[in-house]
Structure 1
Amino acid sequence: MTNHEIGMEAYYYSINNELIGGISKKNAVKCFEQIIAMLDSDERLNLPFITVNGKCFVATKKRLIKCSKNMFGYKFKEWKWSQIRNVFYKKALTTGTLILNTVDGEVKISINRDGAEFAGEILRKLKNEAK
């Protein structure tokens, strides 16, 4: 499979599991393609999701990677599971929030309310498996 095909599958996985946010399909697929190109040969996508403000995330067994698109291209941030102490999630009236307690402080990720519990549980599972 090409990176584009995998990016498309990641996009549709996000939609089907209600982990979709404010980004166009074209930009989301491009972000996922960029993340896929960064992965090691033994890594696979365990959880691709899109935040409500249009950032794409991919969780693997090794790390969590964020891709955001700006005027000048793509910007990436990643956390290895050893850098994340705890993973929590909260659901509010309209959105959900994933809360990562990292060695650098708290990171809040706003996602679709209906996908918050699903994403939180998978991230917790990946974090526990990485120990």
Structure 2
Amino acid sequence: LWAFFRFKKKGDVMDINEIAKDTYYFSINNNLSGFITKRNAIKCFEQLVAKLEPGESIHLPFIDTPGSCYYATQHRIIKCSKKLFGFKFKEWKWDQIKSINYLKRGFTGTLILNTVHGEVKIQVCSCRAKFVGNRLNETKKIAK
């Protein structure tokens, strides 16, 4: 199963809110999610759309705990975190990521991004750690 969401910034007939809901439910239905609310995930997605480059598409949405969304595009991985007044974004371009690994321990899974600036750990559901890790590695290969 592959998530692929493509849209245009202006003049698009698709409703961004509907795409946001589809993205959120993809994460829920594929056990990729943590404990972010649907409302915050949708608000985060709406702000993410404004940051995307023309033609950039989302290849994999997943949700971390607590309150952070991650999106993989063909250019980068973007983290959106809920803050007291708004959202904060952080990103890693694919050329900054040396490797992507995953660990599974009991009910928890951890994605490990080895970046040029150090290690980034992202918690995911243990049953989906391999799925997400493989999808991110595939996207990284395509990005080269």
- TM-score, normalised to structure 1, is 0.96
CA–CA separation in structure 2 for the residues paired with 1:66 and 1:2: 22
Query: Who is 2:56 aligned against?
Result: 43
Residue 107 (str. 1) matches residue 125 (str. 2): no
The aligned runs of 1:1-131 (5 Å cut-off) are 1-131=14-144
**Bigger CA radius of gyration:** 2
Q: Is the 8 A contact 1:53 1:110 kept in 2?
A: no
Aligned pair count reads 131
Task: Provide the aligned C-alpha RMSD in A.
Answer: 0.9
Partner amino acid, structure 1, of 2:124: I
Letter in 2 for 1:94: F
Post-superposition offset of 1:34: 1.3
Q: Which runs of 5+ in 2 are unaligned?
A: 1-13
Scaled by the length of structure 2, what TM-score is found? Answer: 0.87
Deviations 1:29-78 (A, max 9, x none): 11112112211121111000001222101101111000000101100001
User: Quick check: 1:55–1:69 contact (8 Å CA) kept in 2?
Assistant: yes
How many percent identity over aligned positions? 54
The Cα of 1:121 is off from its aligned counterpart by 0.4
- List structure 1 segments (4+ residues) > 2 angstroms apart after TM superposition: none
- One-letter amino acid of the structure 1 residue matched with residue 69 of structure 2: C
